[in-house]
A and B are shown apart, each in its own frame.
Chain A
Amino acid sequence: MENKEAYPANDAAQDVKDSSRRNFIKQSTLLTAVALTPGTAIKAAADHIDEQIAAVFEKMPLKMQVNGKTQNLSVEPRATLLDILREQLDLTGTKKGCDHGQCGACTVHVDGHRINSCLTLGVMMNGRKITTIEGLANGNQLHPMQEAFIKHDGFQCGYCTPGQIMSAVACIREGHANSEHEIREYMSGNICRCGAYPNIVNAIQEVKDGGMAV
């Protein structure tokens, strides 16, 4: 399901222009603190009143598109994209492995590019389009890469699999799946402790050679 809602360009600049000190004071109550825009915070910082915001300002608004659906959220600045996906949106397909960017289990696509969601702050994803493993299939029809992982037995325990598949799709889209060597190099950010690597490579090669759109 494609959500066609247009996203405004990330509008921090607009926020600064639009926010007046009066606006800030008006909004700066506990009740409306969550509605404060980041730009207002900058304005506040310029006015040397940032200490006041810090006291009331525990959460920030976050609007992002996840698997085609617009999400309007309220998040702590320290919440990672990974934790927001899993804990707030109940999208537990994206896995927390090392939580330090070393294993790739948390790999998701942001505006089509693969990243580690564990090292990404949710607040920095405002206006971005996120795709998780849950967003890859078309209804009940699995994505060709999902089919290929099943066919080639590209997993054992399965914990790294969502990250492997997200990375594998990106690997082909980036044009880095032209040989076994290249696939192994460009999949090196995804660790599989069960050691399913040969089968993962086979799955990726099949999808690549099949020439299917990924």
Chain B
Amino acid sequence: MKQFQYVRPATLKAALDVIGKPGVKVIAGGTNLIDLMKRGVTAPDKLVDINHLGLVDHQSLKDITETKTGLYLGSLALNSVVSENNMVAKRHPLLAMALKAGASPQLRNMATVGGNMMQRTRCGYFYDTTMPCNKRVPGTGCGAMEGINRMHAIFGASQQCIAVHPSDMCVALAALDATVHIAGKKGERKLPFTQFHRLPGEHPDLDNNLAKDELIVGIEIPDNNFAQNSYYLKIRDRQSYAFALVSVAAALEIENGIIKNARLAMGGVAHKPWRLFDAEKALTGKQPTEENFAQAATLAMQGAIGHGGNSFKLKLAPATITEALKHAAGLV
């Protein structure tokens, strides 16, 4: 690992003063960043440790708190802590399920909410510094497009990049209409979770819409009526501790045998958590039956493109959507 300078600001303001500068990277849990630094994929001159920022708006960035309209997760709350939190389990079991499906217990004890969001959208070619990768070195080409692309995107890819965002937590938060609270030198701004991550387009080097001089301070999840009927289904090569081939976060609000509201998002299929707005609309007002779920899944797959190695996902994805919805509706 290349030598770097390490600084430990004690306030949000002190952190914001340093982070925008060239060569500076922020570290929270470090589970992705240290890995990338060891591989030489990234080599910052300075690391800013944000684990000691003290109180921001009178609360610790590690806190999980109730607000008037929902639940607020501080950006430094650990993945393990959020997944075991009683309020999360009661109100948003979908999020707890997704978190527990991600990484390993050790990594969840290190990784934070904000860090999970900021982990790189990536693939094997991004990690291999002997290979071309538009995300790692813009303009060098994409090794995966015609290479080994079994894990790669079937939605929203560009000629530049077909990597996927590997987070499970983010898939649940995209489905749950969460809002990202972001601090910058000019104050705080909010962004819908679904607009936080971006598609590769012509700039695959950018994974998200956070400016270099901004920090995520928290996530707010609005109250909903999905707790009774939600499910996170993750399909992977081994039963635990592997990235998703395809994952689905499904949440239904069922009233008198009719779907009043539906939320669906997929992981492992795009450069960002992939929300299925059309399928959600199609399910609204319908009965929660396997047939209706399969129809919604077919609708969700419009525009999907296989690249050879990952073409099996064109069948796996709709099957996973249907299965996740069956679990959510209690049909399994």
Q: How far is the CA of A46 from the CA of B17 in the complex (A)?
A: 7
Q: Is the interface of B mostly helix, strand, loop or mixed?
A: loop
Q: How far is the CA of A170 from the CA of B110 in the complex (A)?
A: 14
Q: Which residues of A contact B54 (CB under 8 A)?
A: 13
Q: Could you mark each residue 171-214 of chain A with 1 if its beta carbon is under 8 Å from any beta carbon of chain B, else 0?
A: 10010100000001110111000000000000000000000000
Interface: A84 (CB within 8 A)? no
Complex: chain B residue closest to A55, CB-CB: B5
B18 near A100 (CB under 8 angstroms)?
A: no
Q: How far is the CA of A190 from the CA of B107 in the complex (A)?
A: 11
CB distance from B181 to the nearest CB of A (A): 22
Given A54-B5, A77-B3, A77-B5, CB of A16 within 8 Å of CB of B10? yes
Contact of B7 among A38, A101, A189 (CB under 8 A): A38
For window 1-30 of B, CB contacts with A under 8 Å fall at 1-11, 14, 17-18, 27, 30
Q: How far is the CA of A167 from the CA of B54 in the complex (A)?
A: 30
B241 near A41 (CB under 8 angstroms)?
A: no
Given A115-B109, A116-B106, CB of A121 within 8 Å of CB of B30? yes
Given A39-B8, A45-B7, A119-B34, CB of A12 within 8 Å of CB of B241? no
Complex: chain B residue closest to A78, CB-CB: B1
For window 23-69 of A, CB contacts with B under 8 Å fall at 38-39, 41-42, 45-46, 50, 53-54, 57-58, 60
Q: Which residues of B contact A188 (CB under 8 A)?
A: 104-105, 239-241
Interface: A113 (CB within 8 A)? yes
B107 near A38 (CB under 8 angstroms)?
A: no
Complex: chain A residue closest to B103, CB-CB: A189
Q: Which residues of A contact B52 (CB under 8 A)?
A: 10, 12-13
Interface: A107 (CB within 8 A)? yes
Given A114-B106, A115-B109, A116-B106, CB of A121 within 8 Å of CB of B8? no
B106 near A115 (CB under 8 angstroms)?
A: yes
For window 68-95 of A, CB contacts with B under 8 Å fall at 76-78, 80
Given A101-B31, A113-B109, A116-B110, CB of A46 within 8 Å of CB of B14? yes
Q: How many residues of B contact A (CB 8 A)?
A: 40
Interface: B63 (CB within 8 A)? no
Interface: A165 (CB within 8 A)? no
Contact of B107 among A15, A170, A185, A189 (CB under 8 A): A189
Segment of B43-51, B66-74, B137-145, B312-320 in the binding face: B43-51
Q: Which residues of A contact B18 (CB under 8 A)?
A: 42, 45
Interface: A123 (CB within 8 A)? yes
Q: How far is the CA of A45 from the CA of B9 in the complex (A)?
A: 10
Q: Which residues of B contact A186 (CB under 8 A)?
A: 105
Complex: chain A residue closest to B47, CB-CB: A77
For window 102-141 of A, CB contacts with B under 8 Å fall at 104, 107, 113-116, 119-121, 123-124
CB distance from A92 to the nearest CB of B (A): 20
Interface: B190 (CB within 8 A)? no
Q: How far is the CA of A41 from the CA of B9 in the complex (A)?
A: 9
CB distance from B50 to the nearest CB of A (A): 11
Interface: B38 (CB within 8 A)? yes
Q: How far is the CA of A74 from the CA of B22 in the complex (A)?
A: 27
Q: How far is the CA of A76 from the CA of B11 in the complex (A)?
A: 24
24 contacting pairs across A/B (C-beta < 8 A):
A12-B9, A15-B10, A16-B14, A41-B5, A42-B7, A54-B46, A77-B3, A78-B37, A99-B38, A100-B39, A101-B107, A104-B104, A119-B107, A120-B34, A121-B34, A123-B49, A124-B30, A185-B239, A188-B104, A188-B105, A188-B239, A188-B240, A189-B104, A189-B106
Residues of A within 8 A of B (CB): 10, 12-13, 15-16, 38-39, 41-42, 45-46, 50, 53-54, 57-58, 60, 76-78, 80, 99-101, 104, 107, 113-116, 119-121, 123-124, 167, 170-171, 174, 176, 184-186, 188-190
Complex A-B, nearest 4 residue pairs according to Cβ-Cβ distance, in ascending order: A189-B104, A188-B240, A77-B6, A13-B10
Residues of B within 8 A of A (CB): 1-11, 14, 17-18, 27, 30-31, 34-35, 37-39, 45-47, 49, 51-52, 54, 80, 103-107, 109-110, 239-241
